[in-house]
């Protein structure tokens, strides 16, 4: 069986001397009431015939209702999740007004085995968080992307420049 694949985009900005990333709290009843390890990089699955970067852009737009800003996409590589899914991600420096976010939705049977379909937001809230704070909130399999972004930023000559 071929592992499912997802692609995502981790938006970051430099505020003063610190980097912040934009992540989203996963929507739906399973994540309601959870905070730690319940956030995600905006991402989604793609099929073999789709380019991962194209999928990452599409999923960013679907999950946040906004296009990513223009800029250089920095590869963060891929990471196998505990579920076996492989996530590939990029980082992009830019800003985004979280007050303009209009999350996409998904439909699922809720409550389970009720026969009733309910609609939920893919992401129920977004936040700009410092790297250390974001790392603690992300699901375990995505924390590596924060570490890789930090390594990239540590290699820069000056914050805010590529």
DSSP letters, 100-113, are G----EEEEESSTT
Share above pLDDT 90 across residues of the chain, in percent, rounded to a whole number: 91
SS3 127: strand
Query: What pLDDT, on the 0 to 100 scale, is given for residue 158?
Result: 43
**Is there a contact between 75 and 7 (Cβ–Cβ < 8 Å)?**
no
pLDDT of 63 > 70? The answer is yes
Phi first, then psi, for residue 105 (nearest 5°) are: -125, 165
Mean pLDDT throughout 61-76?
96
**Is there a contact between 122 and 63 (Cβ–Cβ < 8 Å)?**
yes
pTM: 0.91
pLDDT of 147 > 60? The answer is yes
**Is there a contact between 71 and 109 (Cβ–Cβ < 8 Å)?**
no
pLDDT tens per residue across span 1-43: 678 999 999 999 999 889 999 999 999 999 999 999 999 999 9
Among 31-35, 73-77, 136-140, 154-158, where is mean pLDDT lowest? 154-158
- Alpha helices per DSSP H over the chain: 52-64, 131-137, 143-154
Query: What pLDDT, on the 0 to 100 scale, is given for residue 2?
Result: 74
Within 8 A by CB and 6+ apart from 133, the residues are none
Measured at the CA of 161, the angle between CA 134 and CA 42, to 5 degrees, comes to 35
């Amino acid at each position: 069986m071929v592992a499912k694949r997802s692609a995502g985009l981790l938006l970051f900005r430099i505020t003063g001397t610190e980097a912040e990333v934009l992540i989203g709290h996963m929507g739906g009843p399973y994540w309601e009431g959870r905070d730690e390890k319940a956030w995600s990089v905006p991402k989604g699955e793609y099929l073999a015939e789709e380019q991962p970067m194209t999928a990452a852009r599409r999923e960013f737009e679907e999950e946040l209702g906004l296009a990513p800003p223009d800029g250089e996409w920095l590869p963060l590589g891929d990471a196998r999740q505990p579920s076996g899914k492989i996530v590939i991600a990029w980082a992009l420096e830019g800003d985004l007004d979280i007050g303009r976010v209009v999350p996409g939705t998904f439909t699922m049977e809720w409550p389970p085995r009720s026969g009733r379909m309910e609609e939920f937001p893919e992401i129920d809230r977004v936040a700009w968080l410092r790297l250390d704070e974001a790392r603690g909130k992300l699901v375990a399999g995505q924390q590596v992307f924060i570490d890789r972004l930090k390594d990239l930023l540590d290699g820069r000559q000056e914050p805010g420049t590529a």
